[in-house]
Structure 1
Amino acid sequence: MSAVRINLAKEIGLDLLRHKWQILLALVVIGSALLVIVVTQGTRQLTSEYNELMAEQDRLDIEWRHLLLEQNTLMEHSRIEALARDNLDMQRPAPADEKLVAPR
């Protein structure tokens, strides 16, 4: 056995100084990997939000089409009523003038 004592902390420090570029590159690679993870997670969240918004847009589009159909139906009824009133001089009968017919 050798009687020489090596200062371990000093040797580690010197070794780190000798390989500073390799250590720096390793830290850059680790940082890059962490950034890839963060960006991937952000992309997944944005894709999920985009899909939810597209589904909401589809629901709203369907509702809008139903409302257009309802509006057209109501406009057609009021148009017929206006034509009957204006062109044919028709009017809605008063409740006293209505006669109920019983089924046989």
Structure 2
Amino acid sequence: MMTENVIQALYQVIQERKACPMEGSYTNYLFKSGLDKILKKIGEESTEVIVAAKNKDKVETVTEICDLCYHILVLMAQKEIELNEIEAELEKRRQKIGNKKAEKAEVTVL
């Protein structure tokens, strides 16, 4: 299964849980807990990605990136953001490859 299909399939399951909650589902728990809980989990998972990467543990880094991606998809479903919206924005950004931002001016201390 291609990466795109895996993400689409996972997003579909998340949307189904939102529409038809399943008792005992972690996804259902997140939706029931609300936006603050979802955002808290994204913050936690982001930190765990950073720590795993800093520790140079590839397996743990992959695992934590997957956790972060899942929670981002839950946020997207909560905020009714579709995958094609993300894809369109990434495509716009891809078109700008080589369009490097100018270096920021150095800060001088007075």
TM-score with structure 2 length normalisation? Answer: 0.22
- Larger helix proportion, structure 1 or 2? 1
Larger radius of gyration: 1
